[in-house]
Amino acid sequence: MDQLPLYRRLAAHYREAIEAGTLVQGDRFPSVRSLMSRHEVSLSTALQLCRQLESDGWLEARPRSGNFVRQPRRLAARPLAEPVPGQALDPAQYVGIHARVSEFIARGRQSPVKVNFSSARSAPSLYPGEALKNAATRALRRDPELLVRPAPNHGNANFRSLLAKRAMANGMLLAPEDILVTQGCIEALNLALRAITQPGDIVAVESPTFYGLLQVLETLGLRALEIPTSPLSGISIEALELAIQSGEPIKAMVVVPHLQNPLGSIMPDSHKARLVDFCSTHAIPLIEDDTYSALTNDDAPLKALKAWDRDGNVIHCASLHKILAPGLRLGWMNAGRWQSRVEMLKYAQSRYNEELAQLAATDFMASSAYDRHLRRLRTCLKAQRARTAEAIASYFPAGTRLTDPAGGLALWVELPDGLSSRALFDAALAEGIFIAPGLMFSNSNRFDGFIRLNCGAPYTPAIDSALQRLGELCRQPSANR
């Protein structure tokens, strides 16, 4: 950031003030003379600052009146196309994702990364670290033996009770004893799949899907049947019906109904009801990954798939990893008719979670501060996604498409025809820019023309420059397949 011209650093400062609401639309912007005095800069620098904000759409110059704050005209890339339902992949194409994912991750860790777009989490500054530290301290003061005695079976009772109460807003009626605390959502998914499948079984997944799920399937010896998924409404039920009609013995299904990773789609309620009914009718256990639903743009809670479950066929898996604190590694699940088996598998696999993190989370989540944190987090992520989308529309070549999700941490970007995410990954990493290539999100090469970009960090000139450089790299011959 310090390498940028002074006027651009100042422009970024004022843009952040406008986005934060310190300066609002219609406010008079400081005069050139005031800028010179306030920042001890030259007339040239002050004029360049105003021109930069005006060209970016944040200022409006009014004759004989000065500059006024405005909301910018949103640049927009084209939206993603809808999938073709008949494109479900043959599970025989399963070749294993773990080696490919490991390669990309290892290379990123071994390289001097300046800007990291590869993850799907917020910056530490957006999480309530100080409040959680204080909550943990209070817990230890109240119970000095907390760290030296065994953790309670299935999780802390107060934490499970709090989770059950909050789940009511998502249409779920769960007793606290029906909730099992896990090491994040990834352990919950592992337990669910182990409870209902055997090695060699076929599991239907969204396409594209989170690469961590593909790694879990490979680790358990399961085969992924990738089902076309809409960037608007989620997994294609029509494609599922075609897969069933073709005789595929689907033993389980895993979906992310809210802010699907990487597409960002949100299933309409009618779609959720159809999916739950379809799986129940065909005796296909349905595993729901509900990691992101609290990150939608508004406060209205979304109904979980579990809300339509009438026969225990839905296994609900959730996490606080993305919304509260990654370091706590707290997740939870309700396994429906498989609850007893999952509890046994949890005991055999990892025993029970330590209690301190649960007590700290309970203390914070039981207060109004938790909902204030979520509102702030949603607001920040919305602004960061918008600025990233504008930068992509400005800097990337014509023909670029991207999602416009109603929440979440990332954007799914389709590169212009002929460009390769692997080639772009290589070129970007050589310059210290770490991206997630589309090849990580499928067992096939179908998504080599896509990348996922994280928007969880506050937008800075360094991020803007990195996006501009990515756009330039897309125009170089080396980015072609």
> At 471, phi and psi to the nearest 5?
-60, -40
Distance, CA of 282 to CA of 247 (rounded, Å): 12
- Which neighbouring-strand residues pair with 230? 234
* Range with the poorest average pLDDT among 162-166, 402-406, 451-455: 402-406
pLDDT for position 71: 66
In b/e form, how buried is each residue of 142-166, taking b as 16+ CB within 10 angstroms? Answer: eeeebeeeebeebbbeebbbbbbeb
Single pTM value for the model? 0.84
Q: What is the pLDDT of residues 212-232, one digit of tens each?
A: 999 999 999 999 999 999 999
Distance, CA of 438 to CA of 430 (rounded, Å): 18
Q: What is the pLDDT of residues 383-433, one digit of tens each?
A: 999 999 999 999 999 899 998 899 999 999 999 988 999 999 999 999 999
CB 154 within 8 A of CB 180: yes
* Range with the poorest average pLDDT among 25-29, 231-235, 336-340: 25-29
pLDDT for position 193: 98
Q: Using 50, 70 and 90 to split pLDDT, how confident is the model at 98?
A: confident
Distance, CA of 156 to CA of 352 (rounded, Å): 10
Q: What is the pLDDT of residues 258-270, one digit of tens each?
A: 999 999 999 999 9
Query: How open is the CA angle 141-142-147, to the nearest 5 degrees?
Result: 70
Distance of CA 418 to the CA centre of its chain: 27
CA distances from 129 to 19, 133, 368, 373 (A): 23, 6, 16, 11
Answer yes or no: is pLDDT of 299 > 50: yes
- Could you name the CATH architecture of 127-366? 3-Layer(aba) Sandwich (3.40)
Distance, CA of 326 to CA of 320 (rounded, Å): 7
**Is 95-120+372-479 CATH 3.50.50.60?**
no
Asked, as a colleague might, if the bond just before 128 is cis with ω within 30 of 0, I would say: no
Give me Rg for the CA atoms of the chain: 24
- Pairing mode of beta strands 115-116, 59-62: unpaired
Q: What is the pLDDT of residues 168-201, one digit of tens each?
A: 999 999 999 999 999 999 999 999 999 999 999 9
Q: Using 50, 70 and 90 to split pLDDT, how confident is the model at 477?
A: confident
pLDDT for position 91: 62
What average pLDDT does the structure give for the chain? Answer: 92
In the block, which residue shows the tokens 């960002």? 264
Q: Using 50, 70 and 90 to split pLDDT, how confident is the model at 77?
A: low
pLDDT for position 441: 95
Find the mean pLDDT for residues 241-270. 95
CATH class of residue range 6-69: mainly alpha
Q: What sign does the CA torsion over 63, 68, 70, 76 have? A: positive
Distance of CA 276 to the CA centre of its chain: 23
Answer yes or no: is pLDDT of 1 > 50: no
Q: What is the pLDDT of residues 303-323, one digit of tens each?
A: 999 999 999 999 999 999 999
In the chain, where the domains are located? 6-69, 95-120+372-479, 127-366
- Which neighbouring-strand residues pair with 332? 181, 318
